[in-house]
Amino acid sequence: MSFFTELAQQYIDGEWRPGSGSWDIIDFNPYDGEKLASIPVATAAEVDQAYRAAERAQEAWAATNPYARRLVFERALRIIEDREQEITETIIAELGGTHLKAAFELHLAKEFLREAVQLSLRPEGRILPSPVDGKENRVYRLPVGVVGVISPFNFPFLLSIKSVAPALALGNAVVLKPHQNTPICGGSLVAKVFEDAGLPAGLLNVVITDIAEIGDALLEHPVPKAISFTGSDKVGRHVATVCAANFKRAILELGGNSALIVLEDADIDYAVDAAVFSRYVHQGQVCMAANRVLVDRTVEKEFTEKFVAKVKSLKVGDPKDPATHIGPLINSTQADAVTALVDQTVEAGATALLHGSSEGNLVRPSVLTGLEADSPVLQQEIFGPVALIVPFDGEDEAVRIANDTPYGLSGAVHTADIERGVRIAQRINTGMIHINDSTVHDEPIVPFGGEKHSGSGRLNGESMIEAFTTQKWISVQHGRSQFPF
């Protein structure tokens, strides 16, 4: 079975059908350019149909016993386990993910489904005291209703499931729009898993489309009460603006410019391993990736030599080869942008310890150092295999450099003194930071999200309840109230 043949359609109200738009989204393999699928786009009318179907289905789903709802997620988990090889091949083909990356994505997708099983039972009501005699205040946790989910191209299967499964588990219905570069992994494959798991029709709808076709219809539509968006801060700003204008909740998981800090007492070999993984996993197309590697000047020479040597050992090539570490970037636009950025930074005076060449969408790793403090490249997210090594003198300067960015998503501190690392971590303005580890982590029960331009709101664990439910106060007056007139 080829998912690219079977699932190259819209999924609306439990039906697989082509979009009615006048043009097609073409799904390409980013490594060899093979055409994987051609999908007629969904129009704004079909976005409306998807939201209306979700609205119709949601009320009965919310009233379903949560013990019954959770069975869907148990079955979805088993389906993914049974089809793991096929899904792995699809991830490799559609987004150029290596075997290592596909395994990482599938492991986390399964973990989030296990958490969704538990999440179905977790919302709790409260009874609160009142200053009024005889009054009982009940506070209920209720689904928000319908949730719009917009997922990115880098971890499409995982990051769609990460919002879709909790929203459904908590009694909502969902309309999902995957990125146009990953319509199968991020969209219709997710729908197929839940369809086969027995999710009732209408509760999950997938529209494969583009803003060029639908404009802001997905955001402005009156049905959804919350939008969960994962992507760039530029688009996230627009999503937030439109949601605010339409009184919708926006959960925004945006870009990053993480710093991995290596203090003078760090285990250098271990820090090198962590830094190389943090920067080059999935070709650097990870919001948590360590764009900037900050190294205490006293160990800069040793660290840099070992870092460059390890980067040189990474195999670049066909992601179908299990030995490959670095596959292609998602498309030629990304590949050209990363290549141009490296060239411009070197022309501006940076030193290229490695200056990676490019061939098609394959971009070989670069390592740059000698950057001026005001270099523009230090302020931006680099969605590609480029590491910036920045020396510092003492932990105060490390903290200042780490915070000198509009982003605040993740980070790491490497040191022999754990509590010193924690003290430094507390001074860095990020939503997440890790001591003696990589910058790339996600776990189902810990709050995931960023500060500054890296987003607003949190996902995972209890944060999912905040994101996808609302509170309702119902008071009960036992006896008679006294009114002033």
Q: 356 lies in a domain?
A: yes
Q: 117 lies in a domain?
A: yes
**40 with 191: CB under 8 angstroms?**
no
Of the residues 55, 115, 287, 395, which is catalytic? 287
- Identify the CATH number of the domain in which residue 376 sits: 3.40.309.10
Q: Are residues 279 and 204 in the same domain?
A: no
- What is the predicted pLDDT for the residue at 2? 84
Q: 325 lies in a domain?
A: yes
443 is catalytic: no
- What is the predicted pLDDT for the residue at 1? 47
At which residue do the structure tokens 């409260």 appear? Answer: 126
Separation between Cα atoms, residue 246 and residue 227, nearest integer Å: 11
C-beta neighbour count of 332 within 10 angstroms: 15
Closest CA to 230 of 176, 290, 170: 176
Q: Are residues 189 and 303 in the same domain?
A: no
- pLDDT by 10s per residue, the chain, length 485: 489 999 999 999 999 999 999 999 999 999 999 999 999 999 999 999 999 999 999 999 999 999 999 999 999 999 999 999 999 999 999 999 999 999 999 999 999 999 999 999 999 999 999 999 999 999 999 999 999 999 999 999 999 999 999 999 999 999 999 999 999 999 999 999 999 999 999 999 999 999 999 999 999 999 999 999 999 999 999 999 999 999 999 999 999 999 999 999 999 999 999 999 999 999 999 999 999 999 999 999 999 999 999 999 999 999 999 999 999 999 999 999 999 999 999 999 999 999 999 999 999 999 999 999 999 999 999 999 999 999 999 999 999 999 999 999 999 999 999 999 999 999 999 999 999 999 999 999 999 999 999 999 999 999 999 999 999 999 999 999 989 99
- Its domain, for residue 24, covers 3-254+454-473
Q: Are residues 185 and 311 in the same domain?
A: no
Q: Are residues 182 and 284 in the same domain?
A: no
Separation between Cα atoms, residue 408 and residue 425, nearest integer Å: 12
Q: Are residues 421 and 327 in the same domain?
A: yes
- What is the predicted pLDDT for the residue at 134? 94
Q: Are residues 283 and 221 in the same domain?
A: no
Q: Are residues 428 and 464 in the same domain?
A: no
74 is catalytic: no
Separation between Cα atoms, residue 148 and residue 136, nearest integer Å: 35
- Identify the CATH number of the domain in which residue 72 sits: 3.40.605.10
- What is the predicted pLDDT for the residue at 393? 97
At which residue do the structure tokens 């980067």 appear? Answer: 311
Of the residues 111, 195, 253, 300, which is catalytic? 253
Separation between Cα atoms, residue 156 and residue 173, nearest integer Å: 19
Q: Are residues 311 and 206 in the same domain?
A: no
